């Protein structure tokens, strides 16, 4: 009979503790989910930037544009055989 007297407050305390733990974990779960949402948003923005920059880079570096700039602005041309020389690394 003694043990029942101790058991009741113990169980009440345990129930209370578990209630608080549930509140805590629910809150944490919501916070984490909010974080996830925010990070997904950031991910999306970064990806947006990344692919836009990739596109910009490949537009600027398109062989067509490079060839045109080299020819028209830098007055470059493909060397003919008379002026071509290959430099081989490591040969002295």
Helix, coil or strand: residue 2: helix
Specify the DSSP element, H or E, that contains 56: helix 2-60
The residue whose two tokens read 């602005």 is: 73
| Strand ranges for the chain from DSSP E | none
Minimum distance, C-beta of residue 72 to other proteins, in the bound complex (Å) = 16
Is residue 87 within the footprint of other proteins (CB under 8 A)?
yes
By C-alpha distance, which of 55, 56, 79, 59 is closest to 69? 59
The mark string for 29-68 relative to other proteins (x by CB under 8 A, - otherwise) is ----x--xx------x--xx--xx-xx--xx-xxxx----
Give Cα 36 to chain centroid, integer Å. Answer: 13
- State the minimum distance, in angstroms, from the CB of residue 29 to other proteins: 9
Q: Which is nearer to other proteins, 18 or 44 (CB)?
A: 44
Interaction site with other proteins (CB under 8 A)? 33, 36-37, 44, 47-48, 51-52, 54-55, 58-59, 61-64, 78, 80-92
């Amino acid at each position: 009979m003694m043990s029942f007297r101790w058991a009741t407050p113990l169980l009440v305390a345990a129930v209370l503790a578990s209630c608080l733990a549930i509140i805590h974990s629910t809150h944490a779960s919501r916070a984490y989910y909010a974080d996830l949402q925010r990070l997904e948003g950031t991910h999306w923005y970064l990806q947006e930037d990344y692919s836009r920059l990739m596109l910009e880079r490949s537009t600027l570096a398109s062989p067509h544009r490079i060839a045109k700039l080299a020819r028209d602005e830098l007055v470059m041309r493909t060397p003919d055989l008379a002026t071509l020389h290959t430099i081989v690394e490591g040969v002295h």
